[in-house]
């Protein structure tokens, strides 16, 4: 069973609207959680990183939240743009000696005009 | 600063052949990791190299192997290719101890 579950699998939103992506994890011990954005045919690019003590972090129109108690994170996209069409991947890192990464399957976001 | 460079970008091979993919990390990054990405499975970790030694390994068969050179460049080899090996292979580099990995554009491998 994947230790990082993302929902929804895909979503379509109108340009200018907001949306929220979810990431639930069971990875333990927890070190940090990153959200990556991957455009079609490109490599993923980091958007935000959240550590245990952080609740909210913003990067422009992207805002990530973390609830380490419930092991849930969300990524909120405000006033979506066509360029936001991409796959958003949640990645959780453990604190074991080699810092292994666990990947979610991603949420495919399509922004339509 | 140049990003992570993967070559080739696209590759078509037939079943049973072998393939070697190359990854040049960002200057100063000594850790290189490899991932397989398919529509159904998402990103799956293959292995990570640091200082020419494999440090982490995912759950892939022995047909998948890699190595890292003294200049931190890395190669990944897949032998006896199967149709299911068709995927986007991504390489990422990072400063060892830093959690942010920078990804290359990937190599799109198609096995026919």
- B30-84 pLDDT, tens digit per residue, is 999 999 998 877 888 899 999 999 988 888 999 999 999 999 999 999 999 999 9
Binary contact (B99, A41; C-beta < 8 A): no
Partners of A46 on chain B (C-beta within 8 Å) are 100-102
Cβ burial, residue A107 (10 Å; 0-12/13-18/19+): buried
| Cβ pair B106, B7 in contact under 8 A | no
Q: Which residues of A touch B47 (CB under 8 A)?
A: none
pLDDT digits (tens, 9 = 90+) for B12-45: 999 999 999 999 999 999 999 999 998 877 888 8
Residue B92 vs residues A98, A107, B30: alpha-carbon distances, Å: 16, 21, 11
According to the model, what pLDDT value does residue B72 have? 96
Task: Let me know: does A50 contact A33? Beta carbons within 8 Å.
Answer: yes
Kindly report the average pLDDT of chain B as a whole number. 93
Here the tokens at position B45 are 């970790």
Using 50 as the pLDDT threshold, list the residues of chain A that sit under it. Answer: none
- The percentage of chain B sitting over the pLDDT mark of 90, rounded to a whole number, equals 79
Inter-chain touch B104–A89, beta carbons under 8 Å: no
């Amino acid at each position: 069973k994947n230790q990082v579950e993302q929902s929804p699998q895909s979503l379509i939103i109108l340009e200018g609207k907001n949306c929220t992506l979810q990431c639930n994890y069971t990875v333990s011990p927890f070190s940090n959680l990153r959200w990556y954005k991957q455009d079609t045919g490109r490599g993923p690019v980091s958007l935000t990183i959240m550590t245990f003590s952080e609740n909210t972090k913003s990067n422009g129109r992207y805002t990530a939240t973390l609830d380490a108690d419930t092991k849930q994170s969300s990524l909120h996209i405000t006033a979506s743009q066509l360029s936001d069409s991409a796959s958003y991947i949640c990645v959780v890192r453990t604190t074991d000696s080699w810092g292994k990464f666990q990947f979610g399957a991603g949420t495919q976001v399509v922004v339509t005009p | 600063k140049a990003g992570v460079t993967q070559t080739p970008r696209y590759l078509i091979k037939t079943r049973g052949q072998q393939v070697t993919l190359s990854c040049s990390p960002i200057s100063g990054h000594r850790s290189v990791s490899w991932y397989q990405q398919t529509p159904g499975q998402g990103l799956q970790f293959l292995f990570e190299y640091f200082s020419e030694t494999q440090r982490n390994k995912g759950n892939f068969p022995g047909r998948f192997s890699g190595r890292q050179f003294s200049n931190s460049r890395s190669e990944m080899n897949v032998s006896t290719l199967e149709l299911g090996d068709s995927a986007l292979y991504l390489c990422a580099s990072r400063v060892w101890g830093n959690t942010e990995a920078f990804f290359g554009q990937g190599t799109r491998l198609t096995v026919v």
